[in-house]
Structure 1
């Protein structure tokens, strides 16, 4: 009986030992990209990997979502309204005003901004004009009686040292303009980053 118990325990210990050496445990880690709030899957790391091997582990750049994916979606959504006539308070293809265009473009992607441009200008992070990127919002004071922010545009391109933005004007409806145009350059007040 004693010989049987020794063989039994020896067999169990060999089985356990063989499981721990041949079976590799992997750990998958998910982190959140603070810029896009999307999950990034870090490559699996085998149990027992040495610390210096971890330092050499790099993320596959194709697995990391681009920072501006949401911005491009919003820009493309806004561009579909190019040519729509101006309508005060409008947010549909039947007509829209400047803040209606921006409000609707962000809302369609589950980002809710205030409906009025001067209230939108209280959201996000105020940045320098030279830091402007696609998807940022430009705010203007177009010589209104209250001297408040009363116009907003969404940056859609930066090319040849010109910031291009989509917005809705009373005369032309939804159009793309350049901040280099004298009127918009003089009316410009600030730029804000929502995403």
Structure 2
């Protein structure tokens, strides 16, 4: 009899616990999103130092604080730093097909001009640029690498290029000339660029 009473009490406690449980909603981290591009599981590494960074939302124009466990990888050489700084000097310039100046800039023109500032010659079109340098895994990209995209519907033909300006654990930022907003910085993990991404290449 005592056993039956004990079982009834345990059953009651278990049912209460389940009724009080809350639904947990999870979202994918940027490292998981980038990992999906190559259909490989996200890497798990040691704990990173927690820092607070402030970034500018390219859609709303507002600053947002981003608390993440990230490791900032320093730019590997002054040469690459100069190329990135040259590209950033055009930020906000309107898009112009064939443009290579502050009066107007297109995507390959931005990359061509940035590398040319350091006497490094690249082809003028994004599709031709995609044949230079070495192919690299997207999870291995670092500052100065090039990202190539196919933005036309139902096509994997490369027609857009960007320059990596920041590479952290699971977070890649790149500068490029958008047809709608001109020269700007975007995240590779943004839905649009995630689906348009084709390959990454290292020139230096």
Aligned residue number for residue 102 of structure 2: 93
Preserved contact between residue 144 and residue 150 of structure 1 (Cα < 8 Å): no
Give the Å deviation of 1:115: 0.1
Aligned partner (choices 114, 125, 136) of residue 105 of structure 1: 114
Higher RCO (Cα < 8 Å, 6 or more apart): 2
Segments of 5+ residues of structure 2 without an aligned counterpart are 1-74
Residues 17-166 of structure 1 mapped to structure 2, 5 A cutoff? 67-143=76-152, 147-159=156-168, 161-166=170-175
Distance 1:164 1:183, change over 3 A: same
Provide the TM-score with structure 1 as the length reference. Answer: 0.64
Instruction: Say if 1:67 and 1:164 are closer, same or farther in 2 by CA, change over 3 A.
Output: closer
Q: Deviation at 1:69? A: 1.6
1:139 partner SS:
strand
CA RMSD of aligned residues (A): 1.5
- Runs of 4+ in structure 1 deviating by more than 4 angstroms, as ranges, are none
Counterpart-to-counterpart distance in 2, 1:91 and 1:165: 18
Alpha-carbon contact 2:156-2:198 (below 8 Å) kept: no
How many residues align? The count is: 130
Deviations 1:16-42 (A, max 9, x none): xxxxxxxxxxxxxxxxxxxxxxxxxxx
Larger radius of gyration: 1
Q: What's the TM-score, normalizing by structure 2?
A: 0.61
Query: 1:176 Cα deviation (Å)?
Result: 0.2
Q: CA deviation at 1:193?
A: 0.2
Q: 1:158 Cα deviation (Å)?
A: 1.7
